[in-house]
Structure 1
C-alpha cells in the first residue's frame, strides 16, 4: 500500500493537508514597536512574518479572516488574493508580513530553506551595508568606523549627507529659516500636527537651495569620511533634505569625485521623469524604492531607466517572491538591486534568503 511504502519517508509534515488555523502577534521594541506575526497550522508548524517599521499591526490582522483554512504552501495564490489590501510604504506591511510567514511555513513543511523554494542560490554569503556612525570628533568617528569595519566585518557603509549639517552656518542655505521647527531644525521626518511642515512638504515645493558655501561644507563632510574609510569600501549616501532636483544635481556633482556608491531617495520615487533627469546629469549611481509596493510600481522606473539601482524594502515591496521578481525584471534592463531593511531578525533573514536567490543583488 501507499502507506506502507511511504512509512519510512522522513518528512516535516504533510504539506498537501496543511491548513492555516490562526494568526497572532507580538510587539517588539524595534523601531518603536515593530510587530512580529505568527501564522499557525493544523500540523503544529508555524511561520513568522514582520509588519514593517512599527506600522500598525492591524494591516496584518485584517487579513486573518481571508487566509484561515487555506494551505499556506500556496504562497503565490494567497499573495494575489490579499495584495489588494497593501499600499505604499508601511501600508504594505500586513501583506508582506503574511507573505514572509507563508514562506517560513512552506520551508518548514518541506524541510528546505526559502532560497531553495525561490529557485536556488547564487551565493552562500550575503554582503551587508551599515550606516557610518556619526561622532562629536574625527577621532571618535574613526574609532566607530574601525569598529564597523574591523570588529563587525562590514565591507560597505552608508552615511547621511544632510543640509542639517549646515545648521548654524550662515550663508549655506537659501530659504531654510522659513521651514525650521521650534528648535531651529529642518526636521525631514514630518510633523503629524502640522501637515504643511517641512518634513511633510515634497522636495520640489520647498524652494530650499544650497549655496556654494553650503556645497563646500558638505564636500568636506564627505571627504573626511572618505579619508577615514578609504576607497576599497563603498560608501552610499542618503537623507539629504527636501529640495528640488536642480539642487540635487548640484549636490551630486559636487560629490561625484568621491566615487560614492549611490545617491538614495533624492526626490520622491513617484517622479519617474525627474529621476531620469538626475541620473542622466550625474556620474554617481542613483537609487530609490524602499517605499514602493509591488513590481507594477517599479516598472516605470525600470522601463524608463530612471535609476541605476532599484532599492526595495522586502517588507513593503511584496515579500520574498515579489522582491525577487522585481530584481529579476530589473536585471533584464541592466539594473542592479540593493535591499533596504530596518527591523527585526525576522525580516532580516527574509532578506538574506531573497538576496541569496537573486543574481543582480549588491548589498
Structure 2
C-alpha cells in the first residue's frame, strides 16, 4: 500500500503497522536499525602507517559496514577473538556490546581489540541512523580539533619544520639515549643495561651533568620555537624517581606543556612524588585500559596534571570520553595520544569534539605521504593551521580506499580475507557465579 499524500488522520482505523509506516514515511533513515545484525568481522593489516596497524571491518545483514582499528603495533588476533561474541548482535547496542567484550581487553596493546571493535560499532550505529558519531555522544564542543605533532628524529630542526607545516602545538622527542655516550651524563652498570625495563629496575641514573645537558636541549628548543607555541616532551627513558625529579627541575625554566610517562602509570605514589617536587605538568595514560583500570585512581589521587589516553587502548570512543568527563570534574585536562591510520584518527576527532576538557590530539603520521589517501569521504588535507576538521558524515564520516590499502598491506596479508575459523567459541565467559 502506498501512503503518499495521506495524513495520519486519514489513517485512523487502519492497522497499527500501516499507521506507523505512514507516520514515519518522511523520516530519513539509512537502514532499519532495530533489525541490524552483525554477520562478519574481517581485518586488513596496513604496514608502516607509521606503524603496523590492523584495520577492522564489521559487516551486517543490511549491507553497511563499520570500520575500526586495533592499536598500532598490536596483533589483529585481539579483535578476531571477539568475532564469535559479536555475530548476530545488533551493532547499535554499542555500550551493551562493549560491556560484553571488555573483559577480553587489557592494558597496552591488549586493549586494541576491544577498542577497535568499539570504534567500528559506533561507525555502524552512525551509518544506520544517518548521523555523525559525535552527535550520538551528546554533540560537539568544537568543529575543529587542535593537533600536536611529534619530532621523531630528535632534532630541533624538526620542530621548525613542524611550524612551517602549520602546527601550533609541538612535542619534542629527546630521551636519555641522546646523551648515553657523553661521559658523566648517565650512570648505569654496563652497556648491557636493560634500557626497556621498568623504570625503577634499570639502575640507570641521570647525573647533574646529564640533567644540565637536557636543559640545554630545551633552551635551544625555545630559541627556535619561541615562547608562544606549547612544547611538550615525549618520555625520556627508563629512569627512576630521583632522576625524574632532577630532570624536571632542570627543565622548569622552559615552560613545557608536559612531561610524559616519567615512570610506569601504575606507580601512583611515585607519580605523586614527582608531581609534588617539580613545577612542570605531568601526564600519563597511553597504556591504560578503561577508566576504572587506572585513570580513576590517578585522578582521585591527583597524581597527574593531565590524563593522556590512547583511544585505541583505553576502550574506544565512549570510554575515552568517560575518562575525559571524569577528569574534568577534578579540573584535569585531556590531550589524546595517537599513532595509527586515518580510521582511528577520525574516531579521535569525534571523541575530541564531544569532550569539553580536551586539549590536543597527537598526529604521528605527518611525514607519511600516502596516509590521508587510505580513506575517502572527507576533504584533504585533513588539517590546516594545526587544526583538523571534525567529519560531518554519518558514523566516522569516512569510507576506505581499498586500492591504496591494498598497496600498503603488510607482506603476506590479504585484504579483508574470510575469517570463518573465528566464527565459533565454546568458552563460558561469565566472570561470576
Matched residue, 1:104: 123
Matched residue, 2:299: 302
Write the distance in 2 (CA, Å) between the matches of 1:176 and 1:148.
38
Q: What is the CA deviation profile of residues 281-330 of structure 1, one whole-angstrom value per residue up to 9, with x for unaligned ones?
A: 11110000000000102111011000000000000000000000000001
In structure 2, the CA distance between the partners of 1:135 and 1:333, relative to structure 1 (3 Å rule), is: closer
Is the radius of gyration larger for structure 1 or structure 2? 2
Matched residue, 2:261: 265
In structure 2, the CA distance between the partners of 1:229 and 1:175, relative to structure 1 (3 Å rule), is: same
CA drift at 1:3: 2.3
The residue correspondences of 1:1-363 to structure 2 (distance < 5 A) are 1=18, 2-29=20-47, 30-132=49-151, 134=153, 141=157, 144-150=158-164, 152-175=165-188, 177-180=190-193, 197-199=194-196, 201-297=197-293, 298-363=295-360
Q: What is the CA RMSD across the aligned residues, in angstroms?
A: 1.4
CA drift at 1:242: 1.1
More RCO (CA 8 Å, sep 6+):
2
Q: What is the CA deviation profile of residues 196-224 of structure 1, one whole-angstrom value per residue up to 9, with x for unaligned ones?
A: x331x211112221112111211111111
CA drift at 1:31: 4.3
2:314–2:320 Cα contact (<8 Å) kept: yes
2:154–2:174 Cα contact (<8 Å) kept: no
Write the distance in 2 (CA, Å) between the matches of 1:329 and 1:266.
23
Q: So what's the TM-score if we normalise by structure 2?
A: 0.76
| Runs of 4+ deviating beyond 4 Å | none
Write the distance in 1 (CA, Å) between the matches of 2:104 and 2:110.
8
In structure 2, the CA distance between the partners of 1:135 and 1:281, relative to structure 1 (3 Å rule), is: closer
Write the distance in 2 (CA, Å) between the matches of 1:135 and 1:269.
24
Write the distance in 1 (CA, Å) between the matches of 2:153 and 2:46.
26
Write the distance in 1 (CA, Å) between the matches of 2:200 and 2:152.
29
CA drift at 1:334: 1.1
Write the distance in 2 (CA, Å) between the matches of 1:205 and 1:92.
25
Write the distance in 2 (CA, Å) between the matches of 1:256 and 1:217.
14
CA drift at 1:10: 2.3
CA drift at 1:133: 5.5
Write the distance in 1 (CA, Å) between the matches of 2:327 and 2:247.
27
Give the helix-richer structure, 1 or 2: 1
Write the distance in 2 (CA, Å) between the matches of 1:255 and 1:105.
46
Q: Name whichever of 34-43 and 207-216 sits farther off.
A: 207-216
Matched residue, 1:192: none
Q: Name whichever of 111-120 and 125-134 sits farther off.
A: 125-134
CA drift at 1:83: 0.1
1:238–1:266 Cα contact (<8 Å) kept: no
Write the distance in 2 (CA, Å) between the matches of 1:211 and 1:229.
27
In structure 2, the CA distance between the partners of 1:96 and 1:254, relative to structure 1 (3 Å rule), is: same
CA drift at 1:32: 4.2
Q: So what's the TM-score if we normalise by structure 1?
A: 0.91
CA drift at 1:134: 3.5
Write the distance in 2 (CA, Å) between the matches of 1:335 and 1:226.
26
- The aligned length equals 340
1:165–1:218 Cα contact (<8 Å) kept: no
2:148–2:170 Cα contact (<8 Å) kept: yes
Gaps of 5+ in 2: 1-17, 361-433
